[in-house]
A and B are shown apart, each in its own frame.
Chain A
Amino acid sequence: MIAKPTMILLSPVNVLNDLLQSLGLSADSINFVVWPLIQIGLVVTLVALWVAYATYLERKISAFMQARLGPMRVGPWGLLQPIADGIKLLTKEDFIPESADRWIFFFAPYIAVASAFIVFSVIPFGPDWAVIADVNIGLLFVLAVSSVGVLALILAGWSSNSKYALLGGLRSSAQMVSYEVAMGLSLIGALMFARTLSLSGIVAAQASDSIWFVVYQPAGFLLFLISGIAENNRAPFDLPEAESELVAGFHTEYSGMRWSLFFMAEYAAMVVVSAVAATVYLGGWYFPFVYRLETSGHHNLFVLVSLLVFLVKASLILYFYFWLRWTLPRFRYDQLMDIGWKWLIPSALINIVLSGFAIFAVQALDGYRELKTIESLSHGLNLTATGKGVMIAFGLAGLFITAALLSRINWRSRDFNLRTQRRNIKLVNVPKGKPAVQPGN
C-alpha cells in the first residue's frame, strides 16, 4: 500500500509497520526489537540535540541577562556554535595526567554520561509510541540510575590525584547523598495521589483526573525543584565545581572530549530532572483539550502534539534553572548541608504527613452531609470538583503549615532570618583638616 504524503505525516507508525511486515519480519520482532531500537535511536538523538542546544540557550539567556549578545559568529545568531564546540573538543588532545589513576580517570566520564542518558528510557515523552519502556517502577528506576552519576564524580575527583579535584569529589558525594534523600521524599506526596510508580501511570492519573499534581502539591513541587538543582550541581548549589574556589572541582584535570562528556552529563541530568518534574507535577504530556485530537481520530497527531507539550513544559523548568544560575550567588558548603538537612528533609517529611492527611480528609468528607468528593478510585484518585477544591485548599495550607513548622524548628539557626541582619552603615562628615582617628563605637 502506498500512503499519501499527508498520511505519512500523521501515521508514521502504521506506514513503517506495513513496510517492515512486507520485508518478512514477524509482528513480535517488529514490536519488541525493531521499534525499541528506532525509539532509542530517536530519543538519544533528540536528547543529545536537546543537551547541545541547552548549552546554546544557556549561553544566549545568560548573555541577555548580562547585557551582551552571546554566541553570534558561527551560523546565523550563532546557531551552529554547539556543533563547532563539539568539533573543537573532539579534535583536542585526550590528555591524562601522569599521576592520575589511569583507568578510573578514563572511565569516569562515561559513567556520568551513561547514568544521565539511561534515565530517558523510562521518561514518557508522549502517549503510546513515544515511550521506550513503561517500567512499572519507573520513578524508582529514575532515582536509582541518576544517583549512579555521583559515582562518576567521586571517581573522577579521586582518580585525578589533584587536591582541588579531590575536594570537589568529596563535596559532590556529600551533597548528592543528602539531596537524594530530600528529592525522593518530596516525590512521595505526588505518588500518594497517583498510586503508581510508573511514570506513564502518573501522567495517566493526572490526565484522567484533568489536573496537574502541582496544584495538589505546591510544596512538593518546590522541594523537588530545589533538591533537583542541588542534585545536578547547578548554581546556587554548584559547589563541586565552584570555579572561584576549587578551580573546576572534580573535573579540574580533565580536558577535551572527556571534559565535555562531564559537561554533557551535567546538562543531560538537568534535562532529566526537568523531565521528571514536568511528568510528576506538570502533567507530563497531558494538556487540557489536546485529548480531543484522539477522540476525533487523529491518533498520531495527538501523540506528536503531546510530545511537543511535554518538551515545552520541560524546557520551561530548564529555563528556570538557567535563570537561577545567572542570578544567585553560591552557597557555602556547610550552608548547603544546613539547607539539605535542616530545611528540605524536614519539609519533605511534613509534606508527606500533610498529603496523607489531605487524602484522608477527602475520603472522610465523601458522603458526609451529602458531599461527594470522590469520583472513582480506579486510576489513581479521581475527584469531583468539590474534592479537588478541598485538595487544593489543603495543598496551599500545606505551604504555610510547612513554613511555620520549619521556622519553629530552625528559629535558633544562624541562617534564620538573615534579612533582619541587613544593616545600614553610618555616614560621618568629620571636620576638614583634622585628624579623625577614633575607634568605632
Chain B
Amino acid sequence: MHQVEIATTQETLLDSPEMVLNMGPQHPSTHGVLRVVLRLDGETVMDLDCDIGYLHRGMEKIAENRMYTMIAPYWDRLDYIAAVSNGLVWVETVEQMMGLPVPPRAHYLRTILTELNRIASHLLWLATHALDIGAVTVLLWALREREEILKIFERQFGARLTCHAWRVGGMPNDAYDDFNKDVRQFVNNFPKRLDEYETVLSENRIWLSRTVGIGVISAEDAIAIGLSGPALRGSGVAWDVRKSRPYAAYADMDFDIPLGENGDTYDRYLVRLEEMRQSRRIVDQALEKLPDGPVNAKLPKIVKPPAGDYYHSIEAPKGEIGCYIVSDGSAQPWRVRVRPPSFINLQALKQMCVGHLVADVVAIIGTLDIVLGEIDR
C-alpha cells in the first residue's frame, strides 16, 4: 500500500487544530473501496488524497495471456454497473482491428441495449447520490426503475448485472421474442417516473443548497484534467463520443447533448437527468428503425488481428471509455490499456473538495459517479 502523503501541522491529535480522517475503504458512501484521506480543520477539508487499489485484479495483465474472444467477459467487470457498455468497447475495438462487417441489426441492438444500460447506470447514480445527500426514498424509486431494465437484461443476456452481452462480430443471439414489447413498455413508462423523481429533488430547497455551487470545476480545468462524460458536459464542454466519433448505430440517431453552465454538482445532476431522457429518445428511435437480418458476422476460427496499434473509444455512462490494444499478429494481444473514465474523473476530486465541508466530499464523490471496479481494474 502506498504511503499517503498527508501530514498534520502538529504531532499529536490534541495539539493540532487539524485532524486526519480516513474515509474508507469501509465507508457507506465512498461507492466501493475507495479510501480518501482527509485533512480537516474542524469540518473543512484542507487537503485530501485518494488511496486506490483495493479492488485491483490485474485486468490488463490478464488480457495479455488470453485470446481476444476470451477477454471480453473480463471487460464486463471493469465498470460492473455498466457491463454492457464496457463489453462493447472491447468487441468494437477488436472488430475494427479485424475490419469485420457487423450486421446492421446487431448495431441497432447494441445501441438500444447500451442506452438502456446508460439509463440503468444513471439511475443507480441518482439513487446513491440522493442517498449520500440524505434523500432515502429516491434510492428505492430509482432502483424500481432500474429493475425494469435489469429484467430485460436478464431475459436477453441471462444475467442481471454481470451480463456478457456481446461477441466479437455481433451478438451471441438475436433479441428474445417479447424484446420489442418489453422495451417499448419501459420507454413509455419511463418519462413519467423520471418527472416524479425531479419533483422530489430538482426544486427542493435543501437539495439546491446542498448542490448549487458545490464541487465547481471550470471547463478549462475539466479539459486539463481529462474529465469526460457528464462530469465534463456539466462544465459546458460539448464532447460526446456518440456525436463526435459515432459508433454502433448512433450516426442514424437524432439526440441532443445536455450541457451545464457552472460545472457544479447541480449542473451535473441536471445533465445526467437530461441524458436519461435523451437515452430514452435514442432507444425509442432505434426500436422504430430496428432492421431485420442476422446479428452475427462470419468470424475466422481464431481471431488474429493484424499487427499494429489500435485505439477505439465509446461513450460509457461514466464517460469516455477507451481501449488501446497493441497486437503482434498472434491470437493474444501484446499489451492492452484501458482509458478508464472513473479513474480520470476521480483526479478532479481534490480540486473540487478542498475548502468544502466533509458532507460535501460525500456529495462530490457521488456526483463524480465513480466505480471502483474500473478505477482499480
Contacts and interface: CB of A to CB of B under 8 A. Distances in A.
B244 A430 contact: yes
Interface string B335-365: 0000000000000000000000111111000
Nearest to B27: A247
Interface residues of A, number: 52
A251 to B, nearest CB: 14
Interface stretch (A87-95, A331-339, A367-375): A331-339
Given A167-B358, A236-B206, A425-B267, A244 B29 contact: yes
A432 B236 contact: no
The residue among B22, B243, B359 with the most chain A CB atoms within 10 A of its own CB is B359
Interface of B: 19, 21-22, 27-29, 43, 130-137, 139-141, 144, 200-210, 212, 219-220, 223, 235-240, 243-246, 251, 254-262, 266-267, 270-271, 274, 357-362
5 contacts: A167-B43, A328-B135, A329-B134, A331-B210, A333-B359
Contact of B205 (A164, A419, A426, A438): A419
Given A245-B359, A441-B219, 7 more contacts: A247-B27, A329-B135, A331-B210, A422-B202, A423-B267, A437-B237, A439-B220
A423 B131 CA distance: 22
A429 interface: yes
A27 to B, nearest CB: 55
Nearest to A63: B140
A243 interface: yes
A329 B211 CA distance: 11
A65 B137 contact: yes
Contacts of A436: 238-240, 243-244, 257
Contact of B258 (A419, A427, A441): A427
Given A423-B261, A436-B240, A440-B235, A331 B206 contact: yes
Given A333-B359, A432-B243, A440 B219 contact: yes
Contacts of A423: 261-262, 266-267, 270
A429 B250 CA distance: 13
Contacts, number: 170
A327 interface: yes
Nearest to A171: B43
A310 to B, nearest CB: 30
A329 B362 contact: no
A62 interface: yes
B270 A428 contact: no
Contact of B209 (A68, A164, A246, A415): A415
Contacts of A66: 136-137, 139-141
Contacts of B255: 429
A331 B211 CA distance: 11
Contacts of A439: 219-220, 223, 236-237
B240 to A, nearest CB: 7
Interface string A60-81: 0010011110000000000000
Nearest to B278: A427
Q: Which 6 A-B pairs have the closest CB atoms?
A: A440-B236, A330-B134, A66-B140, A427-B256, A329-B135, A439-B219
Contacts of B135: 327-330
B43 A434 contact: no
B361 to A, nearest CB: 8
Contacts of A62: 136-137
A437 B359 CA distance: 33
A422 B208 contact: yes
B261 A330 contact: no
A99 interface: no
A163 interface: yes
Nearest to B250: A432
Interface in A214-247: 235-236, 238-239, 242-247
A424 B202 CA distance: 10
A83 to B, nearest CB: 25
A432 B206 contact: no
Interface in A304-338: 325-335
Nearest to A327: B137
B120 to A, nearest CB: 18
Contacts of B244: 430, 433-437
Contacts of A333: 43, 357-359
A244 B362 contact: yes
B373 to A, nearest CB: 21
Interface string A406-425: 00000000010011011111
Contacts of A335: 209-210
A164 B43 CA distance: 11
A16 B209 CA distance: 59
B205 A244 contact: no
B236 A242 contact: no
B146 to A, nearest CB: 13
Contacts of B140: 66-68
A216 to B, nearest CB: 28
A418 B205 contact: yes
Contact of B238 (A334, A415, A419, A438): A438
A238, A326, A432 interface centre (most CB from chain B within 10 Å):
A432
Nearest to B268: A425
Highest count of chain B CB atoms <10 Å: which of A423, A426, A435: A426
Given A429-B257, A430-B238, A439-B237, A326 B209 contact: no
Contacts of B137: 62, 65-66, 326-327
Contacts of B270: 423-425
A327 B141 CA distance: 12
Nearest to B361: A245
A438 B243 CA distance: 14
A62 B266 CA distance: 26
Given A430-B244, A439-B220, A421 B208 contact: yes
Contacts of A247: 27-28
* Most central of B136, B240, B361, B362 by chain A CB within 10 Å: B136
A305 B40 CA distance: 56
Contacts of B207: 329
A368 B204 CA distance: 48
A244 B237 contact: no
B133 A329 contact: yes
Contacts of B246: 432-433
A422 B261 CA distance: 12
Contact of A329 (B204, B237, B238, B271): B204
